[in-house]
Amino acid sequence: MDSEQPTTARGSAPLRADARRNRDRIIAAAAQAFAVRGPDLPVEEIARAAGVGIGTVYRRFPDRDALIRAVAQETVRSAMAHARAAVIEEPTAWAALERFLRQSHEVRLAVRLVIDSPGARAAMEDDPEIYELRRVMLDVLDRIVHAAQAEGSLRADVGTGDVAAAFLLLVRPLIVPEADTAASALERCLGVLLDGLRASAATSLPGEALARTALEH
Amino acid sequence: MDSEQPTTARGSAPLRADARRNRDRIIAAAAQAFAVRGPDLPVEEIARAAGVGIGTVYRRFPDRDALIRAVAQETVRSAMAHARAAVIEEPTAWAALERFLRQSHEVRLAVRLVIDSPGARAAMEDDPEIYELRRVMLDVLDRIVHAAQAEGSLRADVGTGDVAAAFLLLVRPLIVPEADTAASALERCLGVLLDGLRASAATSLPGEALARTALEH
Amino acid sequence: MDSEQPTTARGSAPLRADARRNRDRIIAAAAQAFAVRGPDLPVEEIARAAGVGIGTVYRRFPDRDALIRAVAQETVRSAMAHARAAVIEEPTAWAALERFLRQSHEVRLAVRLVIDSPGARAAMEDDPEIYELRRVMLDVLDRIVHAAQAEGSLRADVGTGDVAAAFLLLVRPLIVPEADTAASALERCLGVLLDGLRASAATSLPGEALARTALEH
Amino acid sequence: MDSEQPTTARGSAPLRADARRNRDRIIAAAAQAFAVRGPDLPVEEIARAAGVGIGTVYRRFPDRDALIRAVAQETVRSAMAHARAAVIEEPTAWAALERFLRQSHEVRLAVRLVIDSPGARAAMEDDPEIYELRRVMLDVLDRIVHAAQAEGSLRADVGTGDVAAAFLLLVRPLIVPEADTAASALERCLGVLLDGLRASAATSLPGEALARTALEH
DNA sequence: AATGAATGAGCTTTCATTCAT
DNA sequence: GATGAATGAAAGCTCATTCAT
């Protein structure tokens, strides 16, 4: 489910081995770099981190935004895999939800870039693949939410959009003095949020439940 | 509580009335502009929005970072006022906490700039006034947290640092297709978080409670 | 007829004296540079030639094309003056035509850029001022052509478009080993062309007379 | 007159058949591409048009300029053939001259590249083969001019250099809104020029007749 | 003191050329 | 020998900052 053919294969001939290797390296370096320094760092930095010349980056990705989109796709792709695995493997919908929300660092970047990135916003405009990914992601979450409400574990007054929004809150890097602190702080905030999402904890919320459509284009 | 002396008074002579007016205008325009367009907009844009020449901006603030710091100070200053008012005016500590966390709108920019801005990070380095402000903010929150735990409304297994972290989560702008959606989504997320913070909702959280010191430098 | 107010005044406030001076310098340097090295030379070269920083060029002209357009306008403007003066001052329409075709070096550049530039083509697209100038230029020529045919000096089987085309032939720099040679070769070619344009020299030409409209957008 | 040895044969072994085929394809594609898109298009585009890899282009031609020179040679070579044919086949020297000047289409590119290209100028520097070709071309024209003057059809006050200059005027692409217009405008301009070159049309020209030597290096 | 013009470093992108496959 | 990937120098453009008016 991971080792498919050339990742962006879209009919174009599969890349030569070295090109493929470099492409992967670039995306990995970019993902890393975006995560650490935000989406505004010089492309040259990414090139250096990937150990390639800047020209190589531009041969593979027509411009900076294309690179961002590619990173987003690559990482969301794996986020999807995780999420679907969660649905299948976990015994309860609640557990799946918990796992979904606890998504890894990699997923964090993905979502940030795809759904939520302020800086990379423009990069996503009018990119059908991105829209598609967003839809797929919300689909998965939608299923989890409904199942969890059906089993009575998730409070009934939230919609898929609400949970997605909560997810978005958690997905941003929390900038605090110590990186370790950030990690555990996020873990704990997630815990609090989950406690707040339990059916048993529910007090009233303002407004209407947010449907998934609220976060689609 | 508003007409104190020139904010940056550092022993330097108080500004002439018109100079002071310009300074205020610039900060206001910058705050507005940062909120709308993010922290990356050109200084010249800020000048234009403030209705002054760019030279005037630079006469008042030695460089871009100084302006960012000033905006942060100004907004945090008012955040503090609100928070203290909350403590005094609200009948219960829980209500004060709720109000504190609900500060989102105005505080949002402040906190983003002071504690959380990745881009503006460097701007804050080694600025004693900023450290001071951060400390003050945590002080206020600390008091609220302890009081709320004392009155039994806030779960006992969270520390001031945890609440501050939760606050940080809420403080970021939520980027979704519709601006209105973002606002209500944040309101609702806050509701969920508050439900999760109630003593009654508590299940166990991973790790140790985060002390306020975890978020200080 | 030359020392009017700010040349591109379009409602925007008149430039400060130094800015105006630099603007003029830049246009002059650019005209010179374009004439010598074609329209593809680095903007930085122009800046250097004008004795200003590159930023100054970009402050005045949003991009390279805007600069080309400005040069074109500036020079065509003076071409117009010359042409109108020719109409008024010369005793016969033929003399005016001769003078028009004999246009100076400066005019050469102008026309090349406005009507004929292959490289700068895109720069002119959709620029209403350029269209306007082109129209005006053809207007002037149109009047001369008709008058010359009315007086019987210009052969009757050519249209304004034909004369304009001939003009275009002459307007390009003739690249030959010696610059002096180029100048006199052009003079002599013009002489031959004029001889061919006389009513008395006419043998038949292929196709229809070219109307001025053939060269308008 | 076509199947001579490899053009750049310089003592190096004749190319293998497939290599030769590639070489020809590349030159043809480059000629076409230069004609259509001007001399500034990327080498890679030429490679693509030729249906070969860019590496192959560089194996055949050490650099971009070598390719330009080769294109020039190839096209001038065929221009020469035409011109010589004109001399032989046409009944009068005037007819040969007319045909020579009308060569425009195919010759256009050649001459532009060889004698006249401002951009490709450097590419020609110090290339003995190019000098040779230029000389040959002027030789042919020289013979035509003298013959035409001997038969009394061509005005006596022009030299080979003058006619060559006129040729150069016609050889450039005429940039006008419609491509068709350009073609017929050039035809008509040629007609006018020819009328001006007739002995009968002659009025006086400025300066001295231009000898062929004026256009040699 | 205020203004806005000038500056130039820095980032994005292109493309001639080299080199691994 | 052919291919196309990688390279990096060069050019366009932006914007923080300085300085003349």
As a whole number of angstroms, the distance between CA D146 and CA D94 comes to: 10
Strand F closer than 7 Å to the CB of C59?
Answer: yes
- Give the per-residue pLDDT at C106: 63
Length of chain D: 217
Cβ proximity of A216 and A139 under 8 Å = no
pLDDT band for A36, please (50, 70, 90 cuts). Answer: confident
- C183 residue type, one letter: A
Give per-residue pLDDT as tens, C62-96: 999 899 889 888 888 888 888 889 899 999 999 99
Supply the angle between the helices A64-89 and A128-150 in degrees, to the nearest 10: 20
- Give the per-residue pLDDT at B131: 80
- Give the per-residue pLDDT at A124: 65
Strand F closer than 7 Å to the CB of C44?
Answer: yes
Distances (CA, A) of D61 to A41, A126, D26, D69: 39, 42, 10, 10
B103 pLDDT higher than 80? no
Q: Where are the domains of chain A?
A: 14-62, 75-215
Give per-residue pLDDT as tens, C139-158: 999 999 999 999 999 999 99
Residues 30-49 of D with CB under 7 A from strand E: 40-44
- Give the per-residue pLDDT at B8: 45
- Give the per-residue pLDDT at A178: 77
Cβ proximity of D188 and C210 under 8 Å = yes
3 state DSSP class of A198: strand
- A108 versus C25: which is more confidently predicted? C25
Helices (H), chain D: 17-37, 43-50, 54-60, 64-89, 93-102, 104-111, 121-124, 128-150, 160-171, 179-197
Residues 45-64 of B with CB under 7 A from strand E: 52-56, 58-59
As a whole number of angstroms, the distance between CA B10 and CA B195 comes to: 44
Phi then psi for A2, rounded to 5 degrees? -130, -35
- B82 residue type, one letter: H
* Highest averaged pLDDT of the listed ranges C42-46, C125-129, D105-109: C42-46
- Give the per-residue pLDDT at D93: 95
Length of chain B: 217
Of B185, B202, B205, the CB nearest to A161: B185
- Give the per-residue pLDDT at A182: 87
pLDDT mean over D106-131: 65
C197 pLDDT higher than 90? yes
As a whole number of angstroms, the distance between CA C70 and CA C31 comes to: 10
For residue B28, what are its two tokens? 């206001």
Which range has the worst mean pLDDT, A126-130, B26-30, B104-108, D146-150? B104-108
Return the CATH number of the domain spanning residue range D14-62.
Answer: 1.10.10.60
Half-sphere exposure of C130 (CA within 13 A, CB side): 25
As a whole number of angstroms, the distance between CA D102 and CA D187 comes to: 8
As a whole number of angstroms, the distance between CA A38 and CA A22 comes to: 22
Cβ proximity of D215 and D166 under 8 Å = no
pLDDT mean over C27-47: 89
- Give the per-residue pLDDT at D135: 85
Q: What residue is closest to E9 (Cα–C1')?
A: C55
pLDDT band for B13, please (50, 70, 90 cuts). Answer: low
For residue B23, what are its two tokens? 């300074």
C4 pLDDT higher than 50? no
Evaluated on CA atoms D6, D12, D17, D22, the torsion sign reads negative
pLDDT mean over D6-29: 73
- Give the per-residue pLDDT at B35: 83
Return the CA Rg of chain A: 18
- Give the per-residue pLDDT at D115: 58
pLDDT band for A26, please (50, 70, 90 cuts). Answer: very high
Strand E closer than 7 Å to the CB of D131?
Answer: no
A119 pLDDT higher than 60? no
Q: Residue C37, by phi and psi: left (phi above 0), alpha (psi -120 to 50) or beta?
A: alpha
As a whole number of angstroms, the distance between CA B200 and CA B189 comes to: 18
As a whole number of angstroms, the distance between CA D110 and CA D31 comes to: 9
As a whole number of angstroms, the distance between CA A158 and CA A212 comes to: 11
Give per-residue pLDDT as tens, D165-208: 998 888 877 877 777 888 899 999 999 999 999 999 999 999 99
Strand F closer than 7 Å to the CB of D54?
Answer: yes
- Give the per-residue pLDDT at B28: 94
- Give the per-residue pLDDT at A9: 43
Strand F closer than 7 Å to the CB of A54?
Answer: yes
For tokens 């407004």, what's the residue?
A: A207
D3 pLDDT higher than 90? no
Task: Name the average pLDDT for chain B.
Answer: 84
For tokens 């990742």, what's the residue?
A: A7
Q: Which residue in B184, B88, B187 sits closest to B140, CA to CA? A: B88
For residue D181, what are its two tokens? 């217009």
pLDDT mean over D139-162: 95
For tokens 């009068």, what's the residue?
A: D92
Give per-residue pLDDT as tens, A157-214: 999 999 999 988 888 778 777 778 888 999 999 999 999 999 999 999 999 999 999 8
As a whole number of angstroms, the distance between CA C169 and CA D169 comes to: 6
Q: What residue is closest to E5 (Cα–C1')?
A: C19
pLDDT band for D147, please (50, 70, 90 cuts). Answer: very high
Residue % of chain A over a pLDDT of 70: 86
As a whole number of angstroms, the distance between CA B42 and CA B217 comes to: 29
Question: pTM of the predicted model, to two decimals?
Answer: 0.82
pLDDT mean over A77-104: 88
Evaluated on CA atoms B62, B65, B69, B75, the torsion sign reads positive
Distance from CA of A87 to the nearest CA of B (A): 23
As a whole number of angstroms, the distance between CA C19 and CA B215 comes to: 51
pLDDT band for C134, please (50, 70, 90 cuts). Answer: confident
pLDDT band for A80, please (50, 70, 90 cuts). Answer: confident
Q: Which residue in D161, D9, D162 sits closest to D73, CA to CA? A: D9
Chain A residues whose CB is inside 8 A of the B192 CB are 158, 162, 166, 193, 196-197, 205
Of C166, C186, C188, the CB nearest to D192: C166
- B145 residue type, one letter: V
Strand E closer than 7 Å to the CB of A62?
Answer: yes
pLDDT mean over B118-146: 77
B75-215 shares the fold of B14-62: no
For residue A94, what are its two tokens? 């609640």
Task: Name the average pLDDT for chain A.
Answer: 84
For tokens 């959280």, what's the residue?
A: B205
- A159 versus D5: which is more confidently predicted? A159
Phi then psi for C154, rounded to 5 degrees? -95, 135
pLDDT mean over A27-45: 89
- The secondary structure element, H or E, covering residue A138 is helix A128-150
- Give the per-residue pLDDT at B94: 96
pLDDT band for C118, please (50, 70, 90 cuts). Answer: low
C5 pLDDT higher than 50? no
Looking at the DSSP bridge assignments, the partners of residue C154 are C198
- Residue D154 CB neighbour total at 10 angstroms: 23
For residue A39, what are its two tokens? 């989406």
As a whole number of angstroms, the distance between CA B101 and CA B126 comes to: 28
Evaluated on CA atoms C131, C137, C138, C139, the torsion sign reads positive
Cβ proximity of C25 and C52 under 8 Å = yes
For residue A66, what are its two tokens? 């294309």
Q: Do C189 and D169 touch (CB under 8 A)?
A: yes
For residue D14, what are its two tokens? 């004749």
3 state DSSP class of B126: coil
Quickly name the fold that domain C75-215 has: Tetracycline Repressor; domain 2 (1.10.357)
D118 pLDDT higher than 80? no
Chain A residues whose CB is inside 8 A of the B112 CB are none
A54 pLDDT higher than 90? yes
Looking at the DSSP bridge assignments, the partners of residue B198 are B154
Cβ proximity of C167 and C111 under 8 Å = yes
For residue A21, what are its two tokens? 């290797």
Per-residue H/E/C for D140-157 = HHHHHHHHHHHCCCECCC
3 state DSSP class of A158: coil
Chain C residues whose CB is inside 8 A of the D194 CB are 196, 203
Cβ proximity of C47 and C104 under 8 Å = no
Helices (H), chain C: 17-37, 43-50, 54-60, 64-89, 93-101, 105-111, 121-124, 128-150, 160-171, 179-197
- Give the per-residue pLDDT at A10: 46
Which range has the worst mean pLDDT, A60-69, A122-131, B78-87, B177-186? A122-131
Nearest residue of C to residue D216 by CA position? C177
Task: Name the average pLDDT for chain C.
Answer: 84
Q: Which residue in B136, B142, B72, B131 sits closest to B107, CA to CA? A: B72
Length of chain C: 217
Nearest residue of A to residue B131 by CA position? A177
Per-residue H/E/C for A68-123 = HHHHHHHHHHHHHHHHHHHHHHCCCHHHHHHHHHCCCHHHHHHHHHHHHCCCCHHH
- Give the per-residue pLDDT at C1: 37
Of D173, D196, D215, the CB nearest to C201: D196
Residue B53, nucleotide of least CA–C1' distance: E3
As a whole number of angstroms, the distance between CA D112 and CA D125 comes to: 15
- D80 versus D66: which is more confidently predicted? D66
- Give the per-residue pLDDT at C97: 94
As a whole number of angstroms, the distance between CA B138 and CA B126 comes to: 18
Q: Round to a whole number and report the distance in Å from the CA of C55 to the C1' of F14.
A: 9
- C204 versus C11: which is more confidently predicted? C204
